[in-house]
Amino acid sequence: MIIVGEKINTSLKGVSEAIKARDVEFVKGRAIAQAENGANYIDVNCGTLINEEVEALPWLVRTVQEAVDRPCCIDSPNHLALAAALKEHRGKPLINSITAEKERYENILPLVKEYQAGIIALVMDDEHGMPKDAETGITVGIKLIESLLKDGVPLDDIYIDPLIQPVSTSAEMGLVATDTIRGIRKAYPEVHFMCGLSNVSYGLPKRGLLNRTFLIMCMFAGLDGAILDPGNLEMMGAIRAAEVLMNQDQFATNYLDAFRKGLLEF
């Protein structure tokens, strides 16, 4: 599994204040903790600082990469903020995100090409918005993959996000996500998937239990990446266990390594 650490996000408590104050130690501390807990990418999102995003996002990238040798997942719908942040980035970045909406697609595609970045593609277009059923999600997802391929983005750089929606508002949303992943995976077995998880449990108690159970369902459907809190050891333990059980961890090397580091909780 490709783990993207979600803890540098101004929608989280205390983060907005720290970033406004350009608190280097706060940001570095979060980056280091997430890398130590197994993050492959560090997500950086300061979307709530609307007037400041174009300055704050590149500062975040620079500060994170001074602390850890991990690439960033640069999380913004704003192509100007993305462009400024990409200028600061070393290594191969992951851009979060593009959609099939005409304007967003046209604004963000040139950045993907210029930086040969990985790209998270949300299954959303001008006609459908957020898909209510798997058939729509699969159609929009395949349309996005075909556009990106035609525009010269390698399949291995594409990460489809099935857009997780709460099961509390619409009971079938868990299965819509897994069916969407399965359907797109069938057409493009080599494409990657990436999603956040916490939306699924919105409005219900013990959200961690729902998020973790849902992640394993999605992995069985073909999910190979997730945006989550790598400090959530129950979640990370479940992932390491599922990797063993799905033959994605030969000789349980990573499972045993996590065990030795005291990172396996349940």
- In the stretch 155-184, what mask flags binding to ligand THG with x, by CB under 6 A? ------x--x--------------------
Strand duo 225-228 + 2-9: pairing: parallel
Phi, psi of 195 (to 5 degrees): -155, 160
Whether 141 and 125 have beta carbons less than 8 Å apart is answered as: no
Torsion of CA 108, 114, 115, 117, to 10 degrees: 50
Return the number of the residue (6 or 88) whose C-beta is nearest ligand THG.
Answer: 6
- Per rule CB under 6 A, is residue 37 in the interface with ligand THG? no
- Per rule CB under 6 A, is residue 53 in the interface with ligand THG? no
Distance separating alpha carbons of residues 19 and 75, to the nearest angstrom = 15
Phi, psi of 98 (to 5 degrees): -115, 160
- Per rule CB under 6 A, is residue 10 in the interface with ligand THG? no
Q: What element of type H or E holds 9? A: strand 2-9
With CB under 6 A as the rule, give the number of residues binding ligand THG: 20
Return the number of the residue (96 or 139) whose C-beta is nearest ligand THG.
Answer: 96
The span of 17-25, 27-35, 124-132, 190-198 binding ligand THG (CB under 6 A) equals 190-198
- Per rule CB under 6 A, is residue 96 in the interface with ligand THG? yes
Return the number of the residue (68 or 95) whose C-beta is nearest ligand THG.
Answer: 95
Distance separating alpha carbons of residues 63 and 187, to the nearest angstrom = 39
SS3 167: coil
- Per rule CB under 6 A, is residue 120 in the interface with ligand THG? yes
Q: Is 78 exposed, middle or buried (0-12, 13-18, 19+ CB in 10 A)?
A: middle
Return the number of the residue (213 or 256) whose C-beta is nearest ligand THG.
Answer: 213
Largest CA distance in the chain: 50
SS3 6: strand
Q: Residue written as tokens 């391929």?
A: 149
Closest separation in Å from C-beta 246 to ligand THG = 22
- In the stretch 72-91, what mask flags binding to ligand THG with x, by CB under 6 A? ---x----------------
Q: Of 196, 222, 230, 237, which lies in the binding site for ligand THG, with binding defined by CB under 6 A?
A: 196
- Given the rule CB under 6 A, which residues bind ligand THG? 6-7, 9, 12, 45, 75, 96-97, 120, 161, 164, 195-196, 198, 208, 227-229, 232, 235
